[in-house]
Amino acid sequence: MSLEDKYLITVGLEVHCELRTATKLFCGCANVFGSPPNTNICPVCLGLPGALPVLNRRAVEYAIAIGLALNCDVRRSVFARKNYFYPDMPKDFQISQYDEPICVEGYLELPVAGKRVGIVRAHIEEDTGKTTHVGSSGRIQGADFSLVDYNRSGIPLVEIVSAPDMESAEEAREYVSELRAILVATGATDGKMEEGSLRVDANVSVHRKGTEELGTRCEIKNLNSLRSLGRAIQYEARRQMEIVEEGGRVRQQTRHWNEDQGVTSSLRSKEEANDYRYFPEPDLVPLEPSSEMVELVRAELPVLPPARRAALSDLAGGKPNRSELEQIGTCIGLDLDGFVSSAAEAGLPFKLALSRAANELAALVGAGEALSPEAFVGVLKAEDSGRLSATQAKAVMAWLAETGGAVEEAISALGFVGLSDDEVGSLVDRVTAEHPNEWGRYMAGENQLAGFFIGAAMKASGGKVNGRVFSALLAGKRESAQS
């Protein structure tokens, strides 16, 4: 019996989501990524003595939208100061929300795992600056010096805390990817993990199957991709299982994920943890969103991924299987579900549309290319009718994504213009005449020789012959010869 079979894993996630507001949470500085260091700063986000925060209304609206999208209760909330010293935090405290967060008690459905994960809370807070430690260690201890960029200081964040309801790395990944899709759909964030727009901390513990009590948890920081998240949870769970298996006790720690080495290492233990000395932020008044404001945000919410998934599942004509669910998830995550439904409305097979969208279109979107739903439907029609092979259809999509223009233009530019039925007919006559022996055996009922003739026809036409049309005409020729 492997360790993984003897233990259960429990995972809870804290996701920090950068809001896509025009300006920062408490000042008028631009909220943009990638500016030269320390150019989007002012007395407020630099925490200069005497400067005061003023709350960004748009950030509150986004936080409400997130809460509603996650089925939370949106309520009166209070900002609090989280006190600790760090050079990237200009006031040496962070304005956050503590015991009275704006959103509480929601949930999120994991479609593939088929379970519901509780959302404990979602609260508003300001981001810190960014420190680069220069020196061999790359960490603050032992650095020769450190450079601090305060452009990120004061960028609005919503921190979403899940219940410890996930039981595998896979479920954790699905949670983040579903959450990301929902957050992007609300417009609250661009969801770019690689730019730090979504940052994940994972709380992981293990306990022996058949026991009730959860194990001691460790919190893993620095998970900047779904891949890191999955690997880190697997590594950490295994590490804890080994400790328990050998009779040891897991110590409550904050651990750092090292992507290159594929290991977690201790940052600090519970005993070394900060006492953040939270208290209500006296420079801000309590935030009490009116019911009008909440309803206004609700009215402006777009159709969210769960509803979009339901719509696609309906098109699938019943209960989608696991791989279809994954493909549906990919399409929704990349905003490609409109392509699939357009194709289905045009009468094309759902499975084909879903597969082409989740694979080919998704790859093109990832490469930064785009094509219109009309073009997508056009290509699929050509493929479905047999005018284009699967390989050709994919090539046409790529060409269209890069160049734009009409489907027919792409087909001819790529030399995928098929022969006319008459031309194929002549080709049937030609190859059967050239191979009388095989033709005789085919006539005698060796149907598998159709493939031989298609190959010959492909060779003769330079690949322009449509296999399906050729087969039909070949069969027709035998029929008329026999009748």
Binding residues (CB under 8 A) for another protein: these are 43, 46-55, 81, 83, 85, 87, 90-93, 140-141, 146, 148, 275, 277-279, 282-285
**Smallest distance from another protein to CB 27, Å:** 9
Closest CB to another protein among residues 287, 419: 287
Place of tokens 């009468």: 347
Q: Taking the complex as a whole, how short is the minimal distance between the CB of residue 92 and another protein, in angstroms?
A: 3
| CB contact burial 388-416 (16+ within 10 A = b; e otherwise) | bbeebbbbbbbbbbeeeeebeebbeeeeb
- Spatial contact of 106 and 122, defined as CB atoms under 8 Å apart: yes
Given the complex with another protein, which of 50 and 247 has the nearer CB atom?
Answer: 50
Comparing CB distances to another protein, the nearer of 85 and 448 is: 85
- Nearer of residues 22 and 390 to another protein, judged by Cβ: 22
Nearest to 311 by CA among 345, 357, 352: 345
Q: Minimum CB separation from another protein for residue 152, in Å?
A: 15
CB of 284 to another protein, least distance (A): 5
Q: Which is nearer to another protein, 129 or 329 (CB)?
A: 129
β pairing state of 7-18 and 198-208: antiparallel
- Least separation in angstroms between CB 401 and another protein: 47
- Helix axis angle for 57-69 and 169-186, nearest 10°, is 130
Place of tokens 């959302």: 119
Q: Which is nearer to another protein, 38 or 216 (CB)?
A: 38
Distances (CA, A) of 413 to 263, 377, 407, 420, 428: 50, 19, 10, 18, 26
Rg over alpha carbons for the chain, rounded to the nearest Å, is 29
H helix count then E strand count, the chain = 17, 14
Please report how close the Cβ of residue 264 comes to another protein at its closest, in angstroms. Answer: 24
Annotate 99-126 with DSSP letters as a single string: SS-SEEEEEEEETTTTEEEEEEEEEEEE
Q: How far is the CB of 288 from another protein (least distance, A)?
A: 13
| Phi and psi based region of residue 399 (left: phi greater than 0; alpha: psi -120 to 50; beta: remaining) | alpha
CB nearer to another protein: pick between 90 and 191: 90
